[in-house]
Structure 1
Amino acid sequence: MYKTILVPVDISEDVLTDNALKHAIYLAKISDATIHLFHSIPDVSRFSMSYSYHYDLLASFAKKAIERSEEQLQEIIDKIDYPSDKISYRVEIGSPRDKVLSEAENINADLIVVGSRNPSFSTHLLGSNASGIVSYAKISVLVVR
């Protein structure tokens, strides 16, 4: 059925992550698939281009953010009831939607399992990462609430 399942993880949203992971693990178990967790850190450097003299500080912040995110993903993996050799992860800096879609292609995922909040007024106006992924993905997307 599935070979590689991509699960975008928002580390700050435990409930969304837990719900998406439960579904991904279930599907992976019945398909003997690999689970790939992915976290995207927003790129703060584009908001501070006029402060180029702080580049070293921003680079240091980005490195620490990646390291901390990798630690948190490893903590999540340690709790998953699935063989660790069938779980991988990656952290990148950039737009969550764009990075998730790019990662799906890079790992040849055949399913993206993404958590989503119940839509709010602002979500309808501004869109969300989940809706952007659904709109532009070239593979199947399972949205879990």
Structure 2
Amino acid sequence: MYKSILVPVDILEEELTRNALKHAVYLAKLADAKVYLLHVLPISSAIINSYALGYPELKDRASIKAEEDLKALVDSLDLPKERVSYSIAFGSPRDEIAVSAESIEADLIVIGSRRPGITTHLLGSNASGIVRYANTSVLVVR
């Protein structure tokens, strides 16, 4: 049924990531699908200013840390390594997830989410934004 499953992960949110991955790995095993992990780092004004001033190493440090954590995450999954890959993007999580889903032709996006609270009601959440704007099916795991 699924050939390509995108799992947006936040390496700082271990429980959300673990829950989403548990479902994605289960579905990937059933369907012999590939799993793509995506971690999106926000672009802050500090990073933009550091580039403007000639300090690109700030972005590199964030990327290096994210890549180390993603490699460890990939190694922990109970899937053949050729069926798992990862990438890092900079920008809005909702937008980068949509772009990535399209580029890998994802059949499904599996994302972890917390129980909604007042802040997500007022500001929205990444999961709700993805559900609203994705062009493919989205499984929200709590």
Q: Which residue of 1 aligns with 2:26?
A: 26
Partners of 1:76 and 1:50 lie apart in 2 by 28
Runs of 4+ in 1 over 6 A off after TM superposition: none
**Which structure has greater helix proportion?**
1
Partners of 2:114 and 2:24 lie apart in 1 by 17
Partners of 2:42 and 2:69 lie apart in 1 by 16
Partners of 1:51 and 1:5 lie apart in 2 by 35
Letter of the structure 1 residue corresponding to residue 70 of structure 2: L
Letter of the structure 2 residue corresponding to residue 135 of structure 1: R
Deviations 1:14-59 (A, max 9, x none): 0000000000000000000000000000001xx24995786323x2
Out of 114-123 and 62-71, give the one that drifted further: 62-71
Structure 2 counterparts to residues 100-119 of structure 1, below 5 A: 100-119=97-116
Partners of 2:109 and 2:138 lie apart in 1 by 5
Aligned: 1:126 with 2:123: yes
Shift of 1:116: 0.2
Aligned: 1:87 with 2:84: yes
SS at match of 1:90: strand
Q: Which residue of 1 aligns with 2:62?
A: 65
Size of the aligned set, in residue pairs, is 142
Structure 1: 5+ residue stretches without partners: none
Give the alignment's Cα RMSD to 1 decimal.
1.7
Shift of 1:4: 0.3
Structure 2: 5+ residue stretches without partners: none
Aligned: 1:15 with 2:15: yes
